[in-house]
Amino acid sequence: MTLTGKVGGAHTLQTTPYTIRDGVHISPAEWRWVMIVGGILVLLAFVPLLWVILFGQSEWRLMGTLPNFWDGASYFSKMRLGFEGQWLVTFQHTAETHSGAFIQTLYPLLGHISRWTSIPFLVLFHVARAFAALFMYVALYQLGAMVWSRVTARRLFFGIAAVGSGFGWLFSFVVSNTDFPDFALLPEAYPFFSSLMNAHFPLTIACLALLAGLCIGAFRPGADRNVAQRYGWAIAAVLSFALCVLYPQSLVPFAGALLMVVAVQMLRRRKVSAYVLRYPLAVILPAIPFGLYILAIVSANPAMQEWNRQNVTAAPPPLAFLVGFGLPLLLAVPAILRAVRRFDSDGDRLMLFWLLCMIVAIYLPTNIQRRFAVGMMIPIAYFATWALMDFWLPKIRRTLQRPAVIAVIATMAISPFLLLILLSTRIASQPQSASGVLLQSDYADAFAWLDQRGNDDTVILAAPSVSAWIPAYTGHRVIYGHPYETLYADERLAQVQQWYSTSDPQACSDLLNTSLSNVRYVLYGAQEAELGGGLCNELLRRVVQFGDVIIYAP
């Protein structure tokens, strides 16, 4: 593609013959720009955390993560496993003992690093998140450089891909519902939003961006004559292996897109070159053992089977999906239509198939629909950049193009930055509304006491928001602490609620003799008091008290 030419007074998207380069040249000035802008975005992602630390109230303790504390507590519990020398993951938010599995390995690895370096979990988690985000921004710019030779286009793609989002912020206020992809529901689809959550979302997007750039370069006409490109399949295999470990669902739509690219070449040329076939094979073959392993543990391990049954991440309704990608998707329409019409083998074909496979995958009847949308902003930003450069900007005066670009990217960035503001101000000023993200400081003292007692099989009963963090900070199990990783979660949640809320002594006795018979300690503090008066605690003996938090034992 080149910049727009005029045909009959109308702007049209154009193409030019490709020039096969020995490599992608990114100047030192460009890398400085990337590191500065990427560093600023990383710092912005830490604004809510710093705000809470600086302006939070002393009687409240930040437990670890800000958005989605349930998953944050799960990451920390897996870091605890690594800290204790384990590599296989077992679910610590359930009272049932079970066999472990080689899944979500990044967080046990961080736990091992914590043990080797004595860096606290909370610090190490956020350091990893920062480096993962910076690596993601570098990978996004590398992808842009693979596609465009002009620095302006590279930076435009970077800006849209990094902070682009839809109109979720607007519709959330209009309909009083935050369930839009760009405002709450689908952080893994948006690079900046993903950097607020954890380390493995940004790392996954980084690997996908590098893999997409590698394949775009490999599929260009004449690329098989480039010596460097001939061995790119080996790097693709390494990236595929990394994605299997980080986020295996991400490979499903991308591998589907690669297969469709090969199928099109086969239909058009009646043959497929060995060079082209290497890339889908390099992506798919490393994933096959992982896929078979996941199927095996889900089938043979009852705990993993129950976890898989409960782990439902349904896709948003189609209208909410469109709202969530809003302006970037609208801007991308001319380039998407051109890609459909001309079907060029540069990057258009791969990106078009990748976007299509993502959309199809998230609406297939599976229980992990949203997982297939990871990195969706990449192909949307790709088409939005082409459309802006070749279709939209040439329609306006040259002197207005720069202000127009700034206005467009600023509008795209409203959702993530408004989310930053809301997180910062609400949690710092209204800590009682952020139960689970924050806990009263007395609970931290209770956790320190529990950490010195019991063993890995010790089971503790507490309110759900408290139980979420008990495995990470004490190494003990809980009755209910996570909607997915507590086995038979609905039943266990009902038992916890009944223990603290019932006024029937016989019900307390029945619970203590049956479903809660393996409980060693029971907590009662401000979070538990919100569930009920705690009449059942009268059947127990008081062991110790930390401020308003009392620890009981049968």
Please check the confidence at residue 70 and state whether its pLDDT lies above 90: yes
Per-residue confidence at 229, pLDDT binned at 50, 70, 90? low
For 64, the token pair is 């670890």
pLDDT (tens digit per residue) in 99-122: 999 999 999 999 999 999 999 999
Per-residue confidence at 388, pLDDT binned at 50, 70, 90? very high
Helix (DSSP H) and strand (DSSP E) numbers for the chain? 26, 9
pLDDT (tens digit per residue) in 82-91: 999 999 999 9
Backbone angles phi, psi at 514, to 5 degrees: -120, -95
pLDDT (tens digit per residue) in 454-505: 887 899 999 999 999 999 999 999 999 999 999 999 999 999 999 999 999 9
Q: Which long-range contacts (CB under 8 A, 24 or more apart) does 111-116 make?
A: 111/78, 111/79, 111/80, 111/81, 111/82, 111/83, 111/84, 112/82, 112/83, 112/85, 113/82, 114/79, 114/82, 114/83, 115/82, 115/83, 115/84, 115/85
Please check the confidence at residue 152 and state whether its pLDDT lies above 80: yes
Of the listed ranges 343-352, 395-404, 442-451, the one predicted with least confidence: 343-352
Q: What is the pLDDT of residue 521?
A: 96
Q: What is the pLDDT of residue 451?
A: 94
Q: What is the rounded CA–CA span in Å between residue 522 and residue 466?
A: 11
Please check the confidence at residue 425 and state whether its pLDDT lies above 60: yes
Closest to 30 in 3D by CA, of 198, 172, 158, 171: 158
Please check the confidence at residue 9 and state whether its pLDDT lies above 60: no
User: Can you give the length of the chain in residues?
Assistant: 554
Backbone angles phi, psi at 148, to 5 degrees: -115, 140
Indicate the domain borders of the chain: 24-55+120-424, 438-553
Q: What is the pLDDT of residue 1?
A: 38
Of the listed ranges 162-176, 353-367, 376-390, the one predicted with least confidence: 162-176
Q: What is the dihedral of CA 96, 101, 106, 110, to 10 degrees?
A: 60
Helix or strand (DSSP H, E) at 466: helix 464-467
Closest to 461 in 3D by CA, of 476, 479, 444, 447: 479
Please check the confidence at residue 226 and state whether its pLDDT lies above 80: no
Can you tell me whether residue 365 is helix, strand or coil? coil
Can you tell me whether residue 438 is helix, strand or coil? strand
Q: What is the rounded CA–CA span in Å between residue 449 and residue 443?
A: 10
Please check the confidence at residue 48 and state whether its pLDDT lies above 60: yes
For 224, the token pair is 């098989």
For 152, the token pair is 């302006």
Q: What is the pLDDT of residue 5?
A: 36
11 forms bridges with which residues in the sheet? Answer: 6
Per-residue confidence at 22, pLDDT binned at 50, 70, 90? very low
Higher pLDDT, 121 or 7: 121
Amino acid of residue 165: S
For 423, the token pair is 């997180």
Please check the confidence at residue 273 and state whether its pLDDT lies above 80: no
pLDDT (tens digit per residue) in 241-257: 999 999 999 999 999 99
For 447, the token pair is 């956790």
Q: What is the rounded CA–CA span in Å between residue 57 and residue 167?
A: 33
Backbone angles phi, psi at 515, to 5 degrees: -65, -25
2 forms bridges with which residues in the sheet? Answer: 14
Q: What is the rounded CA–CA span in Å between residue 13 and residue 387?
A: 8
- For residue 253, CA distances in Å to 208, 283, 508 come to 11, 12, 50
Computed over every residue of the chain, the mean pLDDT equals 90
For 232, the token pair is 């790119």
| Placement of tokens 């996908």 in the chain | 208
Q: What is the pLDDT of residue 227?
A: 57
